[in-house]
Amino acid sequence: MPASSPAQIHRLFQEAFNRGDVEALAALYEPDAVLVLGDKEVEGRDSIRQIFESLVARQGRMILGTRAIVASDLGLALLHGDWVIEYPTGTGPDVATQGLSTEVVRQQPDGTWLFVIDSPRTPQAPDR
């Protein structure tokens, strides 16, 4: 199911992640979207799909909340979210991971919204 508004895309992402539905996750991205993973950028829906295959294999449960949405009349929106993924014990080094995300989504010709840029780990300002 595609997102009919920027506000809906986080909920759809969370639901697909929790189902382990890699195809539904990848379908939320434009064909040439960028996923920012620290110092590395992954480009293209097929490459993004491969990243999600390894993530959902650990069978984590995600809670994703939308902190803010800034939309423009140009068919673009900036989203900020906070997320937590809890993994079953024994599936890797982390029992849980969390972060703040920043994403750009764009309205498609059919009115739906897809990720253009997804940065799940927004850099934090150093403590002063």
Residue recorded with tokens 């803010």:
68
Residue 5 structure tokens: 């508004």
Strand order in the sheet with 96-107: 40-43, 29-37, 113-119, 96-107, 76-86, 61-71
Q: Which domain holds residue 29?
A: 6-119
With respect to residue 126, please indicate whether it lies within any of the assigned structural domains: no
Q: How many CB atoms lie within 10 A of CB 18?
A: 16
CA nearest 121: which of 61, 37, 60, 6?
A: 37
pLDDT in tens, the chain (128 residues): 789 999 999 999 999 999 999 999 999 999 999 999 988 999 999 999 999 998 888 888 999 999 999 999 999 999 999 999 998 876 566 678 899 999 999 999 999 999 999 999 887 766 66
- Work out how many domains the chain is built from and give that number: 1
| 55 occurs within a structural domain | yes
pLDDT at 48: 97
Here the CATH number for the domain that contains residue 20 is: 3.10.450.50
Cα–Cα distance, 51 to 111 (Å, whole number): 27
- At residue 94, the pLDDT reads 62
The whole-model pTM stands at 0.90
